[in-house]
Amino acid sequence: MARELRIPEALTAVPAPIRWLALPVALAGAVAVLVGGWGTADPKVEVPHPGGRAAAYCQALAAALPQELLGHARKDPSPASPYVAAWGSSPRTVLRCGVDRPEELDGEHAMDWSPTVDDVTWWSQKLDDGGYRFVTTMRAAYVEVTVPAGAARNPFDPAAALTPAVKANVPG
């Protein structure tokens, strides 16, 4: 014996075309909200615009960067650029190649901690949010790695891990 499908009385007061369209319209709206969030540009990352040889070195570096950094997958910001790479989601480590020479190198922060790894020196700066910014010095293009608080156990680890790619592609 087949069971009869019973529509609740509250729904029978709604005209049939509206009842039939309610679910598809709700699903389409949910999909639109989800897809709309995927394509948004990342306003927090300023894309550098190096010229000449620096641009070529940065493009070579971009091709050599790893797809994973310290257990975090590479997720570059949108729009894509050969001068910006990022790993992790929140917080995330961001590399920018071809940045301008930091003005702070001429000021009171010029003598801040600057570790050298495999002949690549990284000038460091503690940021107001607790993270760090590392910038290569004495290279043909300035490479900046920003490590927000909590993105790595040791804030210098991402820069140290990226040193071989920087050394191989951006001459000193």
Structure-token pair, residue 128: 């107001």
Angle at 129 between CA 126 and CA 73, to 5 degrees: 90
**Is pTM beyond 0.85 here?**
no
Q: Which residues contact 2 (CB under 8 A, 6 or more apart)?
A: none
- Reported as a single tens digit per residue, the pLDDT across 6-47 is 666 765 666 666 655 555 544 454 444 343 444 333 447 899
Q: Which amino acid is at 59?
A: Q
- Reported as a single tens digit per residue, the pLDDT across 115-160 is 889 999 999 999 999 999 999 999 999 999 999 998 989 999 999 9
Q: Which DSSP string do the residues of 40-81 spell out, in sequence order?
A: ---TT-PPP---HHHHHHHHHHHHHS-SEETTEEB---SS--
Give the integer Cα–Cα distance in Å for 159 and 157: 6
